[in-house]
Amino acid sequence: MLLLNKTLYGKADVGSCDNNFYKESPLLVRPRFTEFNNVHVPQHELDFAIPFLNEDIPLYIDPFLLWKSPSMQDKGLHQVIIAAFNNLGVLAREGRIDEAAEQLILASECDEVGLGNSATRRGKRIGKKCALDVLSLFDRIPFYKDHGFRHFEEIQLFVEGIGKDRISDIACNFMKSFLIDYTHQECTNLGISMQEVTVPAVYNPNKKEFEETKTTLPSHPETGAPLLLIPKRWLRHVPWLNYDSYFRNHCPQDDIAHEGEELTRVKVLTYNRDNYGVVDAYVKERERTVADCEYDPLFTQIPILSARRKFAAIKKLPTGKAGNADIKYERAIGELLPSLFYPYLDFAQEQARTNDGVSIRDLIFYNSRTHEFLREIMNDYGSKQITFEMKNVAKIGREHVDQLNRYLTDDLGKFGVFVTRNPLQKAELTRIVNLWSGQRKAIVVLTDADLEQMVEVFDSKQRHPIDFLARSYHQFRRLCP
């Protein structure tokens, strides 16, 4: 797989893609589509949400965001989705109920986009009974029979088994033709190689049916399945129209369940089917408050005041485990560092390891290589990802250095960071210098004093906190022969 040699946004270099990246990097935490393709642009600079290779992104397309968008393109796509969905009602009324059910079942899962909560990027379509329940709304509810749906997300309020994942997948499948073009364009702009693939269940609005399409797209490095990219501006954790907000703020609960009766979801859905006016009022209210409907960013920095409070809480913690101080320390650092290092380091996840029965907490970051220092540690240590090991101890001991040393491999890279309370003492300082001399591994330390300065510059915006990580590394290198 070859990539164009180019510079992205004047920062990140794109070179040749390593075909063995995926297979030779089993220890990478949450490997992403961009890293596999040797594209090192941080998430905030990309228009699309970077897919994971092994799991879904825990976000969903919200059709309401397309409906409210000022973009004529987005509004047009929403009309395509609604027209395709309402055509299912036309088919049902024409006696072609099995055909309508088959189309809805096909539309109910879209593995190519990798949205949701699956750990395998594979989902399961709805069954025929659920599809028939959805289609029955076109006959049972007079408004839908006469006018069709304004927002097909309303089906969540009538049919059991339909949630945010189904809404997202149905939207994806009905506009999959656009997503194919969008993905091709984004990959071309980034120099990402593509190959001929067959994409299933592509809706053809002219024929009003699904069909397979052969096209050129990126594919999953292990399965060969086509991958589709999704604009970030369409994604939310929960769709604007959803059962929980309806139940909490609009559902006439006292009318559905009498005193002492359990108010189940099934009872609410059944009530809604016979009392469409309540749902209609809810939808109109959500339309009136559309200004509050915004997409959910994949990462949000904590406010400056919260960062100061977080560090103040860290300073007050004693070292050790008494009173769960170690857990509180790990939690606070885990909330603070991703915000301090943003946007240069994208947060991968917090991870627990166990060596010889000892629990170790790590923070893992993707190395975007968009800062001179980050490019340096990639070139010198092969650090595709960077591990920050949190230790709420009075002093780092030999066992701690040995543990981090074992974790610094060719897969992740040979650069690691201790986040701890105090500077290393002479013996451990000598040990990490010897690791560099013998194995070219670099271990640096961020202490309470470093964190305090990082929070100060995070507040003042005069410098970026990552400069202090670079400073710690350069101080370490001056000790090395």
Question: Among 5-14, 74-83, 93-102, where is mean pLDDT lowest?
Answer: 5-14
**Is pLDDT of 354 > 50?**
no
**Rounded CA gap, 297 and 50, in Å?**
12
Rounded mean pLDDT of 131-137? 98
Return the percentage of the chain with pLDDT > 90, whole number: 78
Question: Token pair of 412, please?
Answer: 């992740």
| The residue count for the chain | 481
Query: How confident is the model over 172-212, as pLDDT tens digits?
Result: 999 999 999 999 999 999 999 999 999 999 999 999 999 99
State the pTM of this model: 0.84
Cβ-based neighbour number of residue 430 at 10 Å: 12
* pLDDT, the chain, mean: 90
φ/ψ of residue 203, rounded to 5 = -75, 130
Matching residue, tokens 């330390």: 445
φ/ψ of residue 201, rounded to 5 = 50, 55
* Structural domain 304-479, CATH architecture: 3-Layer(aba) Sandwich (3.40)
Query: How confident is the model over 402-417, as pLDDT tens digits?
Result: 989 988 988 789 999 9
Question: Nearest 10 degrees: CA dihedral of 172, 153, 142, 279?
Answer: -170
Matching residue, tokens 């709805």: 126
Name the DSSP class of 472.
H
Instruction: State the DSSP H helix or E strand holding residue 173, giving kind and residue range, or none if neither.
Output: helix 164-174
pLDDT for 350: 59
Return the percentage of the chain with pLDDT > 70, whole number: 91
pLDDT for 27: 56
Matching residue, tokens 């690791």: 435
What is the DSSP pairing of strand 415-420 with strand 442-446?
Answer: parallel
Contact 396, 420 (CB under 8 A): yes
pLDDT for 321: 93
Cβ-based neighbour number of residue 239 at 10 Å: 24
CA distances from 261 to 252, 254, 264, 276, 481 (A): 14, 10, 9, 23, 77
Reduce the secondary structure of 452-469 to three states and give it as a string. HHHHHHHHHCCCCCHHHH
- Of 78 and 352, more confident: 78
Instruction: State the DSSP H helix or E strand holding residue 202, giving kind and residue range, or none if neither.
Output: strand 195-204
**Is pLDDT of 73 > 90?**
yes
φ/ψ of residue 308, rounded to 5 = -65, -45
**Rounded CA gap, 136 and 159, in Å?**
10
pLDDT for 12: 35
Question: Token pair of 398, please?
Answer: 């030999």
Matching residue, tokens 């703020």: 249
Contact 475, 373 (CB under 8 A): no
Rounded mean pLDDT of 230-250? 96
Rounded to a whole number, what is the largest CA-CA distance in the chain?
83
Contact 454, 432 (CB under 8 A): no
Q: Which residues of 173-212 are buried (b: 16+ CB within 10 A; e: fewer)?
A: bbbbbbbbebbbebbeebbbebeebebbbbbeeeeeebee
For CA atoms 250, 108, 172, 221, give the dihedral sign: positive
Query: How confident is the model over 433-475, as pLDDT tens digits?
Result: 999 999 999 999 999 999 999 999 999 999 999 999 999 999 9
Name the DSSP class of 58.
S
φ/ψ of residue 210, rounded to 5 = -90, 150
Query: How confident is the model over 359-393, as pLDDT tens digits?
Result: 445 888 999 899 999 999 999 999 989 999 999 99
**Is pLDDT of 1 > 70?**
no
Question: Nearest 10 degrees: CA dihedral of 73, 79, 81, 87?
Answer: -150
Name the 3-class secondary structure at 217: strand
pLDDT for 119: 79
Query: How confident is the model over 6-46, as pLDDT tens digits?
Result: 223 233 333 334 444 444 444 567 889 998 898 988 999 99
Question: Among 144-148, 255-259, 284-288, where is mean pLDDT lowest?
Answer: 255-259
Question: Token pair of 463, please?
Answer: 């410098």
Domain boundaries, the chain: 60-292, 304-479
φ/ψ of residue 12, rounded to 5 = -90, 135
What is the DSSP pairing of strand 209-217 with strand 235-236?
Answer: unpaired
**Is pLDDT of 265 > 80?**
yes
- Enumerate the H helices of 242-362 as residue ranges: 243-249, 253-256, 265-274, 276-288, 304-316, 325-341
